[in-house]
Each structure stands twice: as C-alpha cells, then as structure tokens.
Amino acid sequence: MAYLLNAYAVDLNAVKQEVGRGDAKLQAAIIKSHPDEFDDDDDFEPGSNRVLLRDALNHLLAGKAALSGDFSQHAYALEELCRYLAKKEWSTYLLPQQKRTINRFLNGPPVDLPDEAGFPNVGWIGRQELPASACQIEKEWIEQSDGELPEDEAKVLGVLAYAVKKGLDIVLFYG
C-alpha cells in the first residue's frame, strides 16, 4: 500500500499569521485558485455533520477551526492555505517504511485544528531542524532502497532541499 504525500515548502510564519485574521479577500483568492476543490456541496449526506470545505476555510482563517468537530475538512482547508502560500509543492506516493521514517521528524499540525485525529495526517518540519532532518530522511530512505533512491522519494527530497536553500519550512499532508 502506498500513501499519497503532498509537500509544501512554505513560510510557516506567514501561514500562522493568516489564521485568525479572517481575511475574506484571501479566502476568495484561495477558492479561485482551485475552485474544483471547493465544489463539495453534494459530497456529504444531509445530517452528516460534515463541514463544506469553503466553510472550513472560513473557520480556519477566522481562527475558529478548533471549535469544529470535522478534523478532515479543516485539515484540507489548511492544505489549501499552504498550497496557496507555497513557494514549491510536490505530490508523490510513499511506501509504508518511507512514511514511518518521515513521521519521526514531523511535528503535529502547525495551527489549531479540531482534536479529532483523522485523515489526512498533517505535520511540519521547521526551517531550523529541516537541514538535519532532510539529511537523516535521505540516509534512511537510501538504506531502505538498497542504495538507489526511487524517483518519488528523490522528488520529496528535492522539495526538502529547496526549502533548506530558501530558508522555508515544510508542511506535509498524507494519508
């Protein structure tokens, strides 16, 4: 089984500054940048207590995401914010052993989300610890692949290297 990983090289301070500002123009710009992601009006059964992604983004930007019970939609809203602010992004698949390796270096979600754990997994690596973490991840992935790094893992390491070079943080979403 493989896991889809979305990695974003982003200034985490900029992400955190937007949470709680309630910037309606930013919300509109994010929705406009990926309108298909926000077309989820008919994705949920009536009475399912699921929050629409546009509403979750509104809660997140208003600093009220943690008050909801819908972790998944608010995590996806955070992903859309990170995607919008990202300097570089990449999507790829990881095998379970690569996921376990990278998990060891991740902090939890970078902003307050509902307590309910769920899909997607969210984590981040700060710019201070990223150089050492990226080196260790690369070393372990090379060992796991018997010396030859598969293309997908090399691409993830490329995003990590870019973030190190530019002094950015990494936010990861995977499931």
18-46: per-residue pLDDT in tens?
A: 999 999 999 999 999 999 888 866 566 66
Other CB atoms within 10 Å distance of the CB of residue 149: 15
Whether the pLDDT of residue 132 is over 90: the answer is yes
Whether the pLDDT of residue 116 is over 70: the answer is no
Buried b (16+ CB within 10 A) or exposed e, 97-125: ebbebbeebbeebbbebbeeeeebbbbbb
Residue 18 burial (C-beta neighbours within 10 Å; 0-12, 13-18, 19+): buried
The side-by-side arrangement of strands in the sheet containing 121-125 is 88-94, 3-10, 169-174, 121-125
Lowest mean pLDDT among 34-48, 91-105, 116-130: 34-48
Whether the pLDDT of residue 158 is over 90: the answer is no
- Looking at residue 43, its pLDDT comes to 63
Mean pLDDT computed over 68-86 = 91
Q: Considering only residues 144 and 20, tell me which one the structure prediction assigns the higher pLDDT.
A: 20
- Residues in Cβ contact with 7 at an 8 Å cutoff, skipping those fewer than 6 apart: 89, 90, 91, 92, 156, 159, 160, 170, 171, 172
For all residues of the chain together, what is the average pLDDT?
A: 87
The SS3 of residue 89 is strand
Angle between helices 151-166 and 130-144 (to 10 degrees): 170
Mean pLDDT computed over 105-131 = 87
Residue 153 burial (C-beta neighbours within 10 Å; 0-12, 13-18, 19+): buried
pLDDT digits (tens, 9 = 90+) for 45-76: 665 667 889 999 999 999 998 777 788 888 99
